[in-house]
Structure 1
Amino acid sequence: MKTVDVSDSFAKPLFILSFRQRDELAAMVSRAGWRPIAARRDEGLAGRVAASGTQVVVVDARGAPEDGLAAVRAIGDSARSAGQAVLLLVSRNDVAILDEALAAGATQFLVSPIPEAEFAHALRYAEHYAARVSGGAPVREARWVSPLGWRYDPGRRSLQVTTELAQLAGIAEEGSAWVAWRRQSREVRARLRNALRRLGEDESTAFAHDLPGVGRVVAHLQRDTRNGRLHGLVEPIGDPPDAGAAVRDVFARRSRSVVALARELPAALVDGDIDVVFQPQVELATGRIVGVEALARWTHPRLGEVGAETLLAAAARAGRSGEVSAYLQLRALTQAALWPAALDGLRVAVNVAAEDVAAAGFVEDLLERIDSSGLARERVTVEVTESGLIERLDIAAGMLAQVRAAGCRTAIDDFGTGYSSLAYLNALPIDYLKLDKSLTAGIAGNPRDRVVVRGVIDMAASLGLDVIAEGVETVEQRDLLAEAGCRLFQGYLCAPGVDSVTLEGLVRATADE
C-alpha cells in the first residue's frame, strides 16, 4: 500500500468551532482552499487548537453567544501568544458581545447573514493578520509533524495512507482498502458508514473514535468535488476513555445502576433537580421557530446531567413513570405560561409515557394540569411514542380523540421505529407525525432512505398530517426534507434543548434573519 503525505491534499489547516453549523462551515472552508478541522463541542478546545497547527480559528457563536464568548476566552491568551487570528461569527442580535469578545482575544468578526464569498475573503484577511503578527512563523505542534491521514480514490479503488497511520493500523503491507476496512472495529466502521452518508458532494463532516496507539481522535472527512476522492485527516484529541473509570464515575460505589438512580428519584423531584428544557421546532419555509418540544433533564449532584432516557428508565424501575410524566408536563406548561410576549405564539409539545395511555382518568388529569398552568389548550401538543401506541392501540385512539376534542393537538413521536405504522395511521386522531431521527440521518447519503422519507411525507400529506423531522443536524438534510415536502424540523441544526431565556434569544434571532 502506497503511503501519502496528506499535506498535498489540504495545504492549510483551519480550526472551526461551530455549535450548530459545523459541517456547513467546514464545507465552505474547504471550498475556500483550507483543510478544516471542525468541532461541534468545546471540550479540550485550547489543546485541540494548539495541536492543529492552524493560523486561523473560527468560532461560530451564532445562536450560542455565551458559549461562543466562553470559547474565545478559553483560547484568547494562547492565540495571542501564537500569533493566531480568531474570527468570530455572530448573529445580528448578538453584536453586544463584540466588545467582550475583542477583550477576550477575537481579532475579526462577521455578522450574519454571511455570504460564502464574504466568508472566504474574511479568512484571507484573518490569515494575513496572523502572518503579520507572528512574523511569518508557522504555528505547529509536534503531534502534527507526522500527520495521520488517508485518501481514497473510488475510480481506481485505491487507498493511500500516511506512513504513521499505516503503522498504527497495521495495514502498510496489505495494499487493500477492503482489508483496511475489515481491520477496523465494528464501532469505527459504523461511525464511518454514518459519516459517509452525511457527506454530500461538496460537504465535510467528522466523527470521534478511539485509535489504538493514539487515543481519542476525531476523523475529519472531505469529498473532492472535482474527482470524487475522499480525504480523511485524523486529529488526536486525548487519551481514550477508560470504560471502567467511566462507569465508576457515573455509578459510584453507592450508585452502580438504574436501580440506584431509582432510589434517588423521589428526593430529586422534591429538590427540583429534575426539570425541562425546550428544543425548538422550525418552519422550513421561513426559518422561524414556531414551537418547542419539552425534554426532561436531571441535574444530578454527583453525575452531572442525566438525560431523559436514563431518567425515564429510573422512573419505570421505581414504578413512578406516571408521577414523573405528570411532573415534567406541569413543569413545561407552567414555564411556558410565564414566557414573555416574544414567545406567545409558540406551541408546546409535552410527552406522554406509554403507561399514561391506559391510566384511568389520565385525560382529565392532563387537562387539569394544562388549565392550572394558565397555558391555553390550543397551544399544547400531546406526543405519544409509536411503541406506546402499538401496545395499546384501541385505548390510545380513545385517549387521543378526547385530547383533540378538548382543544389540544396530538402527535406520534419517533415514527418509523415501530412495525405497524402504515396500518393504523388512518384510524388515529392525530395532527402531527414526527419522523424519527434514524430516518432523517440517512436522507443525505442513501437514495433509498430518501425514497422512504418522501413516501412517508407524501402519505402524511394525503392524510392531512403535518410532518416534523427530528434529529436534523445538517443544512443538506434540511434542504432535502424541504424538497420532499416536510414542513417542520427540530435538531442540532437549530439548537439542542435550551432554557427559556436562551429560547427567547433564538426566537428573536430567527425572526430577524
Structure 2
Amino acid sequence: MEKGAEQATLFIVSAGAGDALAVAARADGWSVVVDAGGDDVAARVLASGAGVVLVDGRDDPALGLATTEALGGFVAATGAALLALVAGDADLDALFAAGATHFLIDSGDADERRHAIRFAARHAARDLGDRRGPAFGAIADPDRITDRVAGWLSEGRHVGLLMIALSRLDILNAARGRAVGDALIAEAHRQVEAITRGLLGPAGLVSTPDGGDIVVAAATDPATLARLSTELNAALVRPLSAMGREAVLGSRWGMAEGTASDDAASLMRRASEALVAAKASDGATIRIAGPEGAAPLDSLAIDLHFAIERGEIDILFQPQAPIDGGRISGVEALARWNHGRLGPLGADALFAAADRADLGLALSDHIQGLVLARMADWPPALRSLRVALNLTAGDLGRPGFAAAFLARVAASGVPVGRLTVEITESGAIRHLDVAAATLSELRAAGLRVALDDFGTGYSSLAYLTALPLDYLKLDKALALGIEGTARHRAVVRAVMTLARSLDLAVVAEGIETEAQRALLAAEGCTYYQGYLLAPPLDAAALARLMETPC
C-alpha cells in the first residue's frame, strides 16, 4: 500500500459478503468497518473517518444503487472515493449518476479487488488530500505527540493541540516549482518551531510529520495558548521568504483544549476532527473543537435530514414581562433539537446544521408551523400571550413570503395580532429594500416586528433607518454590561435614548440577576427575559407559571 495506508479506514457496505471482503482488506493493511447499510449510513461513514467506501452490489444491485445514492452527497462533499463492486449486468451509468467514483465488475479475483481499492485510495488522496489531510483526518506522527500529551494530562496540566495544514500545496508547486515550494514549507515549519519554543520552551512540542502538516502540542494556561495561536497565525499569514522568493501560504487549523474527560487519544481525535471540518469549510479556516461527544457539523447536517420526520425538532417558550415587575405578557418561541444520540441541542447548532445541509428554508417553515400549531392548542390561560418567532434572512428574501406566511397564520386559527416576528441584527440581510417590503406587508396585517441581538453587528443603524420596527431586543452581552463600568452603562443609556427617539420599546435578553433588572429599568428598558424570570418552558410549565405572580 501507499505510505500511510496502514492507518487508513475502508468502510464496506455489504448485506452479505462483507466479512469476507473485510478479511482480505485487513490483510492488506486497512482498518475496516463493515456495515449493512440502511438508514443513516452516511452519518456512520462520516463518523468512521473513512477515505474509501466499498459498496457491495453484487447480490442486490438495487440495494447497491440505493446505498450509492445515499452516500453520493458525502462523497461529493468530502472527496472520498466510492468503489462499487458489481456483477456483470450492472447499470454503470446509474451508479455514476448516483455518485460512484470507481467500479469493479467482480470476477472473483482477490488481487483485482485489492488493486481496485488501492486505486480508489490514490484517487481520494490526489483529489482532496490537500484539503482533508492524510488518511482523511488520521492523526499524523501519533507516537511522539500522543506520549507527551498523555504525560502532561496525567500531571493535571492544561493541554492544547493545534493541527495546522498548509493548504493548496499543489498550486504552490505549480506556480513556484517543487524546490521553491518545499523551501517555503520548510520556512513555515521553522517559524512555527521558533515561535513555540520561544514562548513555551519545553512546555511546547512541534511535529512536522508530512509535507504541509504541522502539529503543535502545548502544556500551558488558556491565555498563553491563545497568545501562541495568535502569534502562529500572524506568522503564517505573512509572506514567507525562501530561495530568493516570497509567497503567502494558506492554512487550515483545527484546535482543541483538554477537558476533564479527555485522554490523549480523545484530545488528538477532537483536534483532528476540527481540522477536517476546517478543510471542508468554504468559509471558516480555523475550527475549535467542541467538548468530547459533540458532533462534527457535517454529521449533524446529515442527521438533520431525518430529524424533522422523526419529530426531533421541538419548541420551548421563554417568558417576557414588563421590566417594572408586571405579569408575563409574552414569550419568545425557541427551537430545540432533541437529538437521538446527543440529547438536546440549541438553535445555534440546529441552524448551523441546516445551513450546512442547505435546509435553512425548510427548517424555518417547519418551525413556523410548529409554533402556530402549539399556539392553536394552548389552553385559555395562555391565549392572551404575545408570541415572538424568528424569521431568517433567507425568509425575508423569498418571493411571496409575506403572503405565504400570512396564509399559514390564517390556516392555523391564531390571531395575527398575537404574533411578533423577530429578525436578527447579525443575520446578514443583503437586500434591505426587499426585507423592508416584506416586513411592511406583515406589519400592515397586524404583526409586530422586533430587531433581535441589537448591538452585535455593524448594520444596526442601517436596519433602524430601513426597516419597519416595533421593538429592539438588546443583545445579552450589551444588557449584562449594565453591571460593568460607567462606559458600559453609557452605551446602554445611548441605546435607550435612541430607541425612545424612534418610539421603539426595548426588550433586554439574558437577564439573570435582580441588580441587572433594576439597573436596566432605571435606564428606561421596557421588557425583559432571562433566567431571572424563567427558563424556556413547554406549554404545561408555562401555564403553571402564569398562575403565579412575577
Q: TM-score, normalised by structure 2?
A: 0.48
Secondary structure of 2:426 counterpart? helix
Provide closer, same or farther for how the CA distance between residues 260 and 406 of structure 1 changes in structure 2, counting only shifts above 3 A: same
* Partner residue of 1:357 out of 367, 388, 396: 396
Aligned to 2:424: 385
Aligned to 1:401: 440
CA distance in 1, matches of 2:384, 2:368: 19
* Partner residue of 2:314 out of 275, 295, 298: 275
Secondary structure of 1:271 counterpart? coil
User: Contact 2:436/2:468 (CA < 8 Å) preserved in 1?
Assistant: yes
Unaligned runs of 5+ in 2: 1-219, 227-256, 274-288
CA distance in 2, matches of 1:508, 1:241: 45
RMSD, aligned α-carbons: 2.9
CA distance in 1, matches of 2:376, 2:224: 44
Cα distance, 1:451 vs. partner? Answer: 0.8
Aligned to 1:73: none
Secondary structure of 1:442 counterpart? helix
* Partner residue of 1:412 out of 447, 451, 462: 451
Cα distance, 1:374 vs. partner? Answer: 1.5
Aligned to 1:470: 509
CA distance in 2, matches of 1:431, 1:445: 28
Deviates more, 1:385-394 or 1:239-248: 239-248
Provide closer, same or farther for how the CA distance between residues 318 and 289 of structure 1 changes in structure 2, counting only shifts above 3 A: same
Structure 2: which amino acid aligns with 1:336? M
Aligned to 1:435: 474
Q: Does 1:302 align with 2:333?
A: no
- Of structures 1 and 2, the one with the larger relative CO (CA 8 A, separation 6+) is 1
* TM superposition outliers: structure 1 runs of 4+ over 4 Å: 239-243, 245-253
User: Contact 2:393/2:423 (CA < 8 Å) preserved in 1?
Assistant: yes
Secondary structure of 1:387 counterpart? coil
Unaligned runs of 5+ in 1: 1-182, 190-211, 217-238
CA distance in 1, matches of 2:417, 2:445: 9
| Aligned-residue identity in percent | 49
CA offsets per residue over residues 258-310 of structure 1, 9 Å max, x none? 11111111211011011111111111123311111111101111101111101
CA distance in 2, matches of 1:188, 1:444: 29
User: Contact 1:442/1:449 (CA < 8 Å) preserved in 2?
Assistant: yes
Aligned to 1:186: 223
User: Contact 2:318/2:333 (CA < 8 Å) preserved in 1?
Assistant: yes
CA distance in 2, matches of 1:423, 1:270: 39
User: Contact 2:318/2:537 (CA < 8 Å) preserved in 1?
Assistant: yes
Cα distance, 1:250 vs. partner? Answer: 8.2
Aligned to 2:380: 341
Aligned to 1:366: 405
User: Contact 1:357/1:388 (CA < 8 Å) preserved in 2?
Assistant: no
Aligned to 1:234: none
Aligned to 1:451: 490
Aligned runs of 1:311-350 on 2, under 5 Å?
A: 311-350=350-389
Aligned to 1:60: none
CA offsets per residue over residues 110-160 of structure 1, 9 Å max, x none? xxxxxxxxxxxxxxxxxxxxxxxxxxxxxxxxxxxxxxxxxxxxxxxxxxx
Structure 1: which amino acid aligns with 2:351? L
Aligned runs of 1:477-496 on 2, under 5 Å?
A: 477-496=516-535
CA distance in 1, matches of 2:334, 2:479: 19
Cα distance, 1:325 vs. partner? Answer: 0.6
CA offsets per residue over residues 60-112 of structure 1, 9 Å max, x none? xxxxxxxxxxxxxxxxxxxxxxxxxxxxxxxxxxxxxxxxxxxxxxxxxxxxx
Cα distance, 1:370 vs. partner? Answer: 1.3
Cα distance, 1:494 vs. partner? Answer: 1.3
Greater C-alpha Rg: 2
Aligned to 1:28: none
Secondary structure of 2:358 counterpart? coil
User: Contact 1:414/1:437 (CA < 8 Å) preserved in 2?
Assistant: yes
Provide closer, same or farther for how the CA distance between residues 484 and 345 of structure 1 changes in structure 2, counting only shifts above 3 A: same
Structure 1: which amino acid aligns with 2:502? L
Cα distance, 1:390 vs. partner? Answer: 4.4
Cα distance, 1:413 vs. partner? Answer: 0.8
CA distance in 2, matches of 1:486, 1:320: 36
User: Contact 2:317/2:332 (CA < 8 Å) preserved in 1?
Assistant: yes
Aligned runs of 1:196-235 on 2, under 5 Å?
A: none
Cα distance, 1:422 vs. partner? Answer: 2.4
CA distance in 1, matches of 2:419, 2:224: 40
User: Contact 1:251/1:257 (CA < 8 Å) preserved in 2?
Assistant: no
Structure 2: which amino acid aligns with 1:453? V
Aligned runs of 1:30-69 on 2, under 5 Å?
A: none
CA offsets per residue over residues 417-455 of structure 1, 9 Å max, x none? 121312441332110101001101211122111111111
CA distance in 2, matches of 1:388, 1:357: 11
Aligned runs of 1:120-159 on 2, under 5 Å?
A: none
CA distance in 1, matches of 2:224, 2:526: 34
Cα distance, 1:400 vs. partner? Answer: 0.9
User: Contact 2:479/2:510 (CA < 8 Å) preserved in 1?
Assistant: yes
Secondary structure of 2:540 counterpart? helix
Provide closer, same or farther for how the CA distance between residues 267 and 474 of structure 1 changes in structure 2, counting only shifts above 3 A: same
Aligned to 2:538: 499
Provide closer, same or farther for how the CA distance between residues 250 and 342 of structure 1 changes in structure 2, counting only shifts above 3 A: same
Cα distance, 1:252 vs. partner? Answer: 9.3
CA distance in 2, matches of 1:390, 1:250: 28
Secondary structure of 1:294 counterpart? strand
Provide closer, same or farther for how the CA distance between residues 188 and 486 of structure 1 changes in structure 2, counting only shifts above 3 A: farther
User: Contact 1:412/1:432 (CA < 8 Å) preserved in 2?
Assistant: yes
